[in-house]
Structure 1
Amino acid sequence: MKALPDGPLALPEGASKPPVIEFRGVGLTYPGPPPVEALRPGNLRVESGEFVTIVGPSGSGKSTFLNIAGLLDAPTSGTYMLDGIDTGALGDAGRTALRGRRIGFVFQSFHLLSHRSAQENVALAMLYNAVPRRERLPRAREVLQRVGLGHRVDALPPRLSGGERQRVAIARALVGNPSLLLCDEPTGNLDTANAQTVLRLLDELHQDGMTVLVITHDPQVALRGGRTVSIRDGALSERAEHPEAIT
Structure 2
Amino acid sequence: MTPPATDSPAAPPVIALHGVGRTHPGRPPVVALHPTDLTVHRGEYLAVTGPSGSGKSTLLHLLGLLDTPTGGRYELDGIDTAGLRDRDRSALRGHRIGFVFQSFHLLPHRTAEENVLLAQVYNRTPRRARRAAALAALRLVGLGHRTDALPGTLSGGERQRVAIARALVNRPSLLLCDEPTGNLDPANAAAVLDRFDALHAEGFTLLVITHDPAVAARADRRLLLRDGRLTVPEVV
TM-score by length of 1: 0.91
Q: Equivalent residues in 2 for 1:193-204 (5 A)?
A: 193-204=187-198
In structure 1, what is the Cα distance between the partners aligned to 2:49 and 2:78? 25
1:143 shift after superposition: 0.9
What stretches of structure 2 of length at least 5 have no aligned partner? none
- For 1:119 and 1:206, how far apart are their aligned partners in 2? 23
Match 2:130 to one of 136, 141, 146: 136
Task: Name the CA distance, whole Å, in 2 between partners of 1:52 and 1:207.
Answer: 13
- 1:152 Cα deviation (Å)? 0.4
Aligned to 2:115: 121
1:190 and 1:203 mapped to 2: Cα distance?
17
Go from structure 1 to structure 2 and tell me whether the alpha carbon gap of 1:90 and 1:10 turns closer, same or farther (over 3 Å shift): farther
How far apart in 2 are the matches of 1:49 and 1:195? 22
1:104 paired to 2:102: no
Structure 1: distance between partners of 2:133 and 2:221: 32
Mark the runs of 5 or more structure 1 residues left unpaired by the alignment.
1-6
Q: In structure 2, do the counterparts of structure 1 residues 55 and 242 end up closer, same or farther at CA, with 3 Å as the change threshold?
A: farther
What is the aligned partner in structure 2 of residue 3 from structure 1? Answer: none
- CA RMSD between the two structures: 1.5
2:233 corresponds, among 234, 237, 240, to: 240
3-state SS of paired residue (1:158)? helix
Q: What's the offset of the Cα at 1:8?
A: 6.5
Per-residue displacement from partner, 1:27-67 (whole Å, max 9, x unpaired)?
00111133111100110111110000000000000000000
In structure 2, the residue matched to 1:74 is: 68
Tell me the residue number matched to 1:166: 160
CA–CA separation in structure 2 for the residues paired with 1:18 and 1:137: 31
Deviation (angstroms), 1:241: 4.7
Instruction: Tell me the number of residue pairs that the alignment of Structure 1 and Structure 2 aligns.
Output: 233
Q: Deviations over 1:78-106 (max 9, x none)?
A: 00010111000311111111000000000
Residue by residue over 1:155-191, the C-alpha shift from the partner in whole angstroms, topping out at 9 and shown as x without a partner, is 0000000000000000000000000000001011001
Specify which of 219, 225, 232 is matched with residue 231 of structure 1.
225
AA partner of residue 231 (structure 1) = L
Percent identity over the alignment is 62
Q: Give 4+ residue runs of structure 1 displaced > 2 Å after superposition.
A: 7-11
